[in-house]
């Protein structure tokens, strides 16, 4: 019996290999049927990139106004108040004690 099966073993192995590769081509991580998942991930990453790009532009503008050649007194005063926690004696300070919502997707900046 084993002598009769000997010529079929390479053919059976090749058939199994072709089937395995075919299934992986359809359902694998980079398969034809997983295109929707890749498109959704791409859209999510593009939205994240747009958000980070906008945030970077804002920070670049703030840094530009804090340089000595183009110093904005209003921005400097705002940053000093935010960092030091001081207020002008002429300002009305309203303290709010609202619960802070936790958003895991939000990017925290220091």
Domain assignment present for residue 106? The answer is no
Number of folded domains that form the chain:
1
Q: Nearest CA to 95 among 83, 84, 85?
A: 85
Burial class (CB in 10 A: 0-12, 13-18, 19+), 72: middle
> pLDDT per position in the chain (110 positions), as tens?
566 667 788 888 999 999 999 998 888 878 888 888 888 999 999 999 999 999 999 999 888 877 777 777 787 788 788 888 777 788 777 777 766 666 555 555 54
Task: Provide the phi-psi class of 106: left if phi over 0, else alpha when psi is between -120 and 50, else beta.
Answer: beta
Q: For residue 72, give its domain range.
A: 24-83
Residue 96, in any domain of the structure: no
Residue 42 domain-assigned (yes or no): yes
- Do the domain assignments include residue 11? no
In a domain, residue 101? The reply is no
For residue 49, is it within any domain? yes
In a domain, 57, yes or no: yes
What is residue 107's predicted lDDT score, i.e. its pLDDT?
57
* Cα–Cα distance for residue pair 70/50, rounded to 1 Å: 27
Q: What is the pTM of this model?
A: 0.47
**pLDDT confidence of residue 110:** 45
- 88 in a structural domain: no
């Amino acid at each position: 019996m084993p002598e009769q099966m000997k010529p079929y073993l390479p053919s059976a192995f090749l058939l199994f290999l072709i089937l395995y590769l075919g299934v992986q081509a359809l359902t694998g991580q980079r398969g034809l049927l997983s295109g929707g998942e890749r498109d959704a991930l791409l859209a999510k990453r593009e939205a994240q990139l747009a958000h980070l790009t906008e945030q970077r532009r804002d920070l670049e503008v703030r840094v530009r106004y804090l340089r000595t050649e183009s110093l904005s007194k209003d921005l400097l005063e705002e940053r000093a108040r935010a960092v030091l926690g001081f207020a002008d004696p002429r300002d009305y300070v309203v303290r709010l004690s609202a619960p802070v919502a936790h958003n895991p997707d939000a990017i925290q900046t220091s």
